[in-house]
Amino acid sequence: MKLNPNRDRLVDQLLREVLGNETPPDVADRVLRKAYPRRKVIFWAAPAAAAAVLLIVGAWLAFSPRYPLPLLDGKPIEREAVVSTHEKARDLILGGYAHVALQPEASIRIKGSQKDERIALEKGKVTCRVNREQGRFTVETTLGNVWVTGTEFSVELIDKKGEEEMIGNKAGRALALAIIVTAGTVQVDYEGSRYAISAGQSQVFGGERKEVSQDPPKKRTPGKDGEKNAIAKGTVIGTVVAKGDSSITIRSLNGNKDEYIPEWEGGNTGGPKKSVVRQIKAVKVGDKVRAQWYVNDHLRLKSVERIEGESKEDGATEKSREEGKKEEKGAVTKKDADDDDNGDDDDDEKPIAGTEGFSGKVSGTVQSKDENGDSFTLKVKDILKTWKGNKAKNPKAMVGETIEIEGINENHLLWIKTLKEGDAIEIEIRYNEENDFQILELSESQRKTIGK
C-alpha cells in the first residue's frame, strides 16, 4: 500500500481527537483565505462597482423625463418668443403644468424658467389653467402682475382710446386689467398693494379710476361661520342703495349689488357686532362708502365708512335714493296697507308689550304669507332661546300671539316662498327699531331647502 502523507496525517488527527479527547485545530481562517484571496477580490471588485455606478447613472439619464419645452399648438417654441393671435385662438403649454389659451387679437411674450413659468401679456385676453403643485406661474402686465395660488382664471388687458391721459398709458389710452377667477385663487400686485381674488370673483384694475373695488363671490360654505372659515375677503367701494336695521346694500364701482350683514360675535348666544351696526347707522343711502367684507356661510361686513366726495357715476340717482329710503324704513305690512285704505292715521302697528328688542329663537305655526312673499305670520307656540343681545323684558308675552316676520335678504325671501299655511317651524328672529320682527338667521336645514 502506497503511503499518503496527507491521509496519514488526517487519520492520526482523528484518532487523537476520538481516543485522546484532543481539541481539533481551528482552520476556518486558513480555509477562508484560500477561498477568498484579498488581492483577487480587490482586483475585480473595483471595476465591477464602477461599472455598476455608470450603469445606474446611464439608466437615470436615459429614462428620467426632461423638463418640457414650451409648446405652441403642440410644437416647440423658444423662450422670449412673441406670440400673437388674429382671428383664431392658440394654445400654449409651459412646463407641462401651465396651459394658456390665447384668445383672438391677443399678444404675449414667453418668459420664465424651469418651474417658474411666466408670460408677459401685451394685448388682449388669456385664459389660464395651472397645476400649481408642479410649479409657479405668473402673468405680467404693464398694470400689475397676476400670480397663481389657484388653478383657473382669465386675464384681459382692456385698451381704450381716449382724448385725455389715463392710468397705465401716457399716450391717451385707458388701460384696464380685468381678471375673472373660475377656480382657486389668484394674487394681484397692483400699484404697491396685493389683492386676493377667489373663485367666482371678477375684478377690474386701472382704467379711468384708481380705486379698486373687490366684489364678493356668490358662493357660500353652509355651516361654516367666522372669519377663520372665510373663502374670500376683500374691500368693496360703492354706493349705499339700501339699509336695514343690521344690514346694508351696496352697489359697487363694478356695478354689482350685494347685501352685507355685520359679522357675528358671541357664538350661539351672541348677535351682530355692535361696532359694525353703529357704522351702518352712521352712513346714509346715497353715500359713497368703503366696506371690508368676508364670505363664509354669509356675506359678512367687518367695517364700513363713508368716503368724502361723490361722482355722478358713483352716486345714487334720486330714484335710487328714494327706493333705498323706502327699503330702509322696512316693508309695509298687510295690516298697515289695510289701515291706510281705511283712512287710519296710525301707520305703525303697536308692539306686543314686553317684546321690544327681542332676539332669539321661537317655534310656531305658519298662518299666512304676504302677497309679495317677503313676510309671513306665525302663531307663536314657544320661546326656545334668547340670545345675548336680547332686550325684551317679557319674551313669553309672544306665546299664543300671531306676529308678522319679514325676510331681509334674498335667502330669507327664497325660504319664505317654501312655507305653507299650517307648517310647524322654528326660526331665529329679532325685533328691530321699526317695530318689526325680522328673520335673524336661517338654520342649516332651512338653507338646504333653498339649495344654499
The CATH number assigned to the domain holding 125 equals 2.60.120.1440
Distance between CA atoms of 254 and 251, rounded to whole angstroms?
8
Percent of the chain predicted with pLDDT > 70: 69
Which DSSP symbol is given to 79?
T
Mean of per-residue pLDDT scores for the chain: 77
Among the candidates 64, 93, 117, a domain finishes at 64
* CB atoms near residue 318 (< 10 Å): 8
- Is 311 within the bounds of a domain? yes
Q: Which CATH number goes with the domain that contains 250?
A: 2.40.50
- At 202, the pLDDT band (50, 70, 90 cuts) reads confident
- Is 12 within the bounds of a domain? no
pLDDT in tens, 280-319: 999 999 899 989 988 877 889 999 999 865 443 344 444 4
Do residue 54 and residue 122 come from a single domain?
no
- At 394, the pLDDT band (50, 70, 90 cuts) reads very high
- Is 223 within the bounds of a domain? no
Do residue 79 and residue 179 come from a single domain?
yes
Q: Helix (H, G, I), strand (E, B), or coil: what is residue 434? A: coil
Q: Are 94 and 112 in contact (CB under 8 A)?
A: yes
Do residue 95 and residue 197 come from a single domain?
yes
Q: Of the ranges 213-217, 253-257, 320-324, 406-410, which one carries the lowest mean pLDDT score?
A: 320-324
- 211 or 204, which is more confident: 204
- Is 89 within the bounds of a domain? yes
Distance between CA atoms of 253 and 107, rounded to whole angstroms?
28
Do residue 188 and residue 281 come from a single domain?
no
Q: Which CATH number goes with the domain that contains 346?
A: 2.40.50.320
pLDDT in tens, 97-106: 999 999 999 9
Among the candidates 329, 344, 379, a domain finishes at 329
Using the predicted structure, report yes or no on whether residue 27 has a pLDDT greater than 80. Answer: no
- At 333, the pLDDT band (50, 70, 90 cuts) reads very low
Do residue 142 and residue 269 come from a single domain?
no
Using the predicted structure, report yes or no on whether residue 40 has a pLDDT greater than 60. Answer: no
- At 39, the pLDDT band (50, 70, 90 cuts) reads low
Query: Which residue from 97, 142, 91 is spatially nearest to 115, judged by alpha carbons?
Result: 97
Do residue 160 and residue 245 come from a single domain?
no
Give the pLDDT score at 362: 94
Specify the DSSP element, H or E, that contains 257: strand 257-262
Give the pLDDT score at 85: 92
Give the pLDDT score at 272: 86
- Is 413 within the bounds of a domain? yes
- At 18, the pLDDT band (50, 70, 90 cuts) reads low
Using the predicted structure, report yes or no on whether residue 176 has a pLDDT greater than 70. Answer: yes
- Is 163 within the bounds of a domain? yes
The torsion defined by the Cα of 352, 356, 357 and 359, in degrees rounded to 10, comes to -10
Give the pLDDT score at 36: 63
Among the candidates 64, 96, 123, a domain finishes at 64
Do residue 278 and residue 298 come from a single domain?
yes
Looking at residues 205-212, what average pLDDT do you find?
65
- Is 11 within the bounds of a domain? no
Do residue 317 and residue 418 come from a single domain?
no
Give the pLDDT score at 41: 46
Looking at residues 206-224, what average pLDDT do you find?
68
- At 2, the pLDDT band (50, 70, 90 cuts) reads low
Give the pLDDT score at 109: 94
Do residue 178 and residue 77 come from a single domain?
yes
* Count of domains forming the chain: 4
pLDDT in tens, 59-101: 655 565 788 999 999 999 999 999 999 889 999 999 999 999 9
Distance between CA atoms of 155 and 141, rounded to whole angstroms?
9
- Is 215 within the bounds of a domain? no
* CB atoms near residue 238 (< 10 Å): 26
Longest dimension (CA), the chain: 152
Cell numbers linked to 242: 339700501
Looking at residues 134-158, what average pLDDT do you find?
84
Residues spanned by the domain of 162: 71-206
Do residue 383 and residue 417 come from a single domain?
yes
Looking at residues 36-56, what average pLDDT do you find?
60
Do residue 91 and residue 56 come from a single domain?
no
Q: Is the pTM here over 0.85, yes or no?
A: no
Do residue 46 and residue 169 come from a single domain?
no
